[in-house]
Structure 1
Amino acid sequence: MNPLDYEVMIRPLSPSDGGGYLAVVPALPGCKSDGDTPQDALANAYDAIACWIEAAEDMGRTVPAAARAAA
């Protein structure tokens, strides 16, 4: 499975939450990351997706199929 195939939602974080950007992967429960810029958050999210998939496979769990929102 390719991390780039998963939809990543990015939103700004408030200053009270530390600023920067949050990246969430809706198809993978609990899979999220952050970064100082949207690009950093996206790159970090792809790393998180790869780790999420590896951990799920190691535990024998099903990995949800990649899905992107309709454009």
Structure 2
Amino acid sequence: MSRYKYEVIIYWSDEDEAFIAEVPELPGCAADGETHEEVLSNLETIIDEWIETAQALGRPIPIPKGRLMFA
């Protein structure tokens, strides 16, 4: 189970031949994987890196809002 509370959108990409997981609240934050489990595990790492980079650049970290209207 994720320690993050951001909304995650998972879909299959024929082009990448993988599942893609995106976090709409964190622009550019996405990962891929062969299974749902793998893509979510990979996404945890990417979220960690996204937050670390934002902190290093002095950018705000969005507070998770849960389900978004446009998703």
- Please give the TM-score of this superposition, normalised by the length of structure 2: 0.84
Root-mean-square deviation (CA), in Å? 1.7
5+ residue gaps, structure 2: none
Instruction: Give structure 1 regions of 4+ aligned residues with deviation exceeding 3 angstroms.
Output: none
CA offsets 1:19-61 (integer angstroms, 9 cap, x no match): 1100000000000000001111111111111100010001100
| Alignment coverage as a number of residue pairs | 67
- State the structure with bigger RCO (CA 8 A, min sep 6), 1 or 2: 1
Identity of aligned residues (%): 36
2:23 corresponds to 1:25: yes
Aligned to 2:5: 5
TM-score by length of 1: 0.84
